[in-house]
Amino acid sequence: MVAMLSAGQEPDYWNQQARETLQKALNAASQHNKNIAQNVILFLGDGMSIPTVTSTRIYKGQREGKTGEESTLVYEEFPHVALSKTYNTDYQVPDSAGTATAFLAGVKTKRGLVGLDDRAIRGDCTSAQGHEVPSIVKMAKEAGFAVGVVTNTRLTHATPAAAYANSPSRDWQSDLDIPDAEKPFGCKDIALQFLENFEIDVAMGGGRSSFMPTSKTDYGGNPLLRGIRQDGRNLIDEWRLARAKLGRADFVWNKEQFDNIDPNSTDYILGLFNYEHMDYEALRDDGPEGEPSIIEMTEKAISLLRRKKDRFFLLVEGGRIDMAHHTTRAGLALSESLALEQAVAKAIEMTDDQDTLIIVTSDHSHTMYMAGYPSRGNPILGINDKDLGLDQLPYTTLGYANGPTAALLASSFSETGKRPDITSDDTEDPQYTRQSLVPMLSETHAGDDVAIFAKGPMSHLFHSVHEQNYIMHVMQYAACIGDYTTQCHTRRGTTTTGSEATLTDVRGSQ
């Protein structure tokens, strides 16, 4: 049933709302925060397209008993919003490795490359030599920050990998993945680079398999799951030994162990909560041997990082939004997107926007669309309540331009001239797969721009349509690190008025 409107029928409601919003904008225009960012938190919704953001907003409101459209995600209230152009240097529609290198290492690059510039060739080890680009995480660590990486994908997946690794292939997550023909040329797998490149204070995600040798049975006790490393190295044990020389280091693999970590007495955390990717939030086991949520991981990470150092950098990736879209399960995608929003809310609660820059963005879009003319308040995961197709059959408000369900659609057309009838389907089941047009084994990314939401020091520098690699440069500039250590908008203990400083001779401008 469509929910009744609680307000908004009369012109005065809309006029007053607009006047209040305008006044906020006028006030904000004269109050740009030009402090040095003592902390930077980058939230990355993998595949969180603008239609995903819109749908999540409605989904959130409807879960609260409202019509939904009037709802607001916490980051939609940030004062500064821009758009990001996501293409790779060789593809109009990007992948997550090339985009992660852009927003974490500051240069656009080819599809499939991690932490390398465009001169490297995917899958070619020798081509990577001399073309490594440092990430904002490495720069922050070198500047004395505590640093953290939180994801619900494998810790070696494309986005988190670009925080600490340089690889000619996003697929080289363990030594098993490197082709025999490339091994003699010295490239290290991504998991090994996590151990060796520099110390990350807090790292949490999934993907235990790439850190364990084939002789090691997985921590969950399943005898069928063993490590996949062929070099015989147990990187988890090596991490514990190396970090224990620097302070208290806790490796945890389940919810109970995670809950028992005291961030006030722990110096390093490595959490690997799944053999592969972590579970979807809607399907997550919250029991003792289950997994923490992305909200809980964000809270624990901030607590440790801010206690350990005066300044910190944290990357939080909601990576399973993307994976839900690839299977055309929009319900799971919105649930994941809402969980990320709740993690952002937790970060806002724990920090001060006078000294903490918070950015929420995405790496790329997806082909999910929101179509037709459903009534206000119609369930966002439901069937359009106003329109039928020309075949006189219903369709869902959310669908996909391509994906694995299109083959069933084509078969039904060839037999009956109609699409399958979804009248009796439970479209609000999170695992429901939606109709798609072009048959593909997996739904694909899309090439449209994605949003950037920002608050805190120097967040006003996000103001128009930007190349994606610009994000990393703003983070450096706001925190006065890396390329902008000596050419920064201000210095500690001083204030700046008027326009920002003119930049010259910035290194790393390739």
Helix (H) or strand (E) holding 408: helix 406-416
Paired tokens of 471: 């994000």
In single-letter form, the type of residue at position 187 comes to: C
436 touches 405 (CB < 8 A)? yes
* Residue 129, burial from CB neighbour count under 10 angstroms (0-12, 13-18, 19+): middle
Tell me 130's DSSP state.
T
Instruction: Compute the half-sphere exposure of residue 347: CA atoms within 13 Å on the CB side of its CA.
Output: 36
197 touches 138 (CB < 8 A)? yes
In single-letter form, the type of residue at position 328 comes to: T
User: 402 forms bridges with which residues in the sheet?
Assistant: 438
Of 274, 187, 306, 197, nearest to 242 by C-alpha is: 197
CA distance 100 to 46: 10
**Residue 232 C-alpha from the chain's centroid:** 32
139 touches 476 (CB < 8 A)? yes
Pairing mode, strands 312-318 and 146-154: parallel
> What is Dmax (Cα atoms) for the chain?
74
Helix (H) or strand (E) holding 477: helix 470-479
Return the C-alpha torsion angle 476, 120, 208, 105, nearest 10.
10
CA distance 117 to 420: 47
CA distance 293 to 278: 9
Active site residue 96: yes
Q: Which of 84, 96, 337, 459 is catalytic?
A: 96
The residues that are catalytic are 96
